[in-house]
Amino acid sequence: MIKKAFIFDLDGVIVDTAKFHFIAWQRLATSLDINFTEEENEQLKGVSRVNSLKKILEWGNKKISPDVFQSKMDQKNTEYLDLIKTLDTSDIMPGVHDFLLELKKQEQPIALGSASKNARPILKKLGIYDLFDVIVDGTNVTKAKPDPEVFLSACDQLGYVAQNSIVFEDSVAGVQAANTAGMISIGLGESSILKAADEVFAHFTDMPQNYINTLLSKKK
Ligand code: B16
Ligand code: MG
């Protein structure tokens, strides 16, 4: 039986936390007198917390001391954790749970490849933590997306090569990371934004029947 490494991004692919990241960043930007738009937020998808704050300060043309920088990062995460405290199984994006269960049934290896330092508690809240054979997140990587480190580490830990790995991503930075790694990139979101992905779907529920089989025989 053909097997491939199936690697999932978290925010925006498994769960729609992007809107909560946006609210928390927007509150933080306002506290610094910076105007922060939805278009700018799009560029923060898949980007680590520290790099996100650096970008917001750059766009707002603001400089802050290292101490204030750290406290603003903590403030953002506290707000974010408060916004996601009621997350549960019902917040899993449409079609994702069934897709994961089908992969399990077919004994395909599953990994998480996320920039988030909150990935593990979020997967536990969603009740799907145990479906993942390997978890690589913001607490394990040194180089943020678009660097491919997170995905290469995931496929390596699963015992697969990049050419036999498939990445599901909602961010421009994440699709770029998967492509740089030489992996098949499946975009979740708008094709006008995720132009570089090998294929794009709005949701998992839009994938054709037996799409897992199509992916197993797909070449980069
Ligand atoms: P945290 P992903 C990314 O997760 C988010 O897309 C991005 O918006 C966020 O800033 C980043 O995680 C860090 O998250 O503050 O929870 O550590 O899309 O790579 O799963
Ligand atoms: Mg994402």
pLDDT tens-digit readout, 25-82: 999 999 999 999 999 998 998 899 999 999 999 999 999 999 999 999 999 999 999 9
Q: Which of 142, 127, 144 is nearest to 9 (CA)?
A: 144
Q: Indicate whether 71 and 97 sit together in one domain.
A: no
pLDDT at 1: 79
Q: Which residue has the higher pLDDT, 198 or 45?
A: 198
Q: What is the mean pLDDT of residues 193-203?
A: 97
Q: What is the mean pLDDT of residues 85-112?
A: 97
Q: Which residue CA neighbors atom 13 of ligand 1 most closely? A: 116
Q: Which residue has the higher pLDDT, 220 or 24?
A: 24
Backbone region of residue 92 per phi and psi (left: phi > 0; alpha: psi in -120 to 50; beta: other values):
beta
Q: What is the mean pLDDT of residues 191-214?
A: 97
Report in angstroms the alpha-carbon separations of 9 from 26, 80, 97, 178.
23, 18, 14, 11
Q: Has residue 220 got a pLDDT over 90?
A: no
Q: Has residue 214 got a pLDDT over 90?
A: yes
Q: Give the pair of three-digit tokens for residue 30.
A: 């306002």
Q: Indicate whether 200 and 164 sit together in one domain.
A: yes
Q: Indicate whether 54 and 107 sit together in one domain.
A: no
Q: Indicate whether 184 and 208 sit together in one domain.
A: yes
pLDDT at 217: 94
Structural domain that includes position 52: 18-86
Q: Hey, which of 48, 116, 123 would you mutate to test ligand 1's pocket, going by the most ligand atoms within 8 Å of its Cβ?
A: 116
Asked if 112 and 135 count as a contact pair (C-beta separation under 8 A), the reply is: yes
79 in contact with ligand 1, CB cutoff 6 A: no
Q: Indicate whether 119 and 10 sit together in one domain.
A: yes
Q: Indicate whether 144 and 206 sit together in one domain.
A: yes
**Banded model confidence at residue 179, pLDDT cuts 50, 70, 90:** very high
Q: Indicate whether 116 and 53 sit together in one domain.
A: no
pLDDT at 117: 96
- Give me the half-sphere count of Cα atoms (radius 13 Å) on the Cβ side of residue 41: 18
Q: Indicate whether 102 and 75 sit together in one domain.
A: no
176 CA from centroid of ligand 2 (Å): 12
Asked if 12 and 200 count as a contact pair (C-beta separation under 8 A), the reply is: no
Q: Indicate whether 180 and 104 sit together in one domain.
A: yes
pLDDT tens-digit readout, 109-161: 999 999 999 999 999 999 999 999 999 999 999 998 999 999 999 999 999 99
Return the CA Rg of the chain: 17
118 in contact with ligand 1, CB cutoff 6 A: yes
CATH number reported for the structural domain that contains residue 67 in this entry: 1.10.150.240
Q: Which residue CA neighbors atom 16 of ligand 1 most closely? A: 116
pLDDT at 64: 97
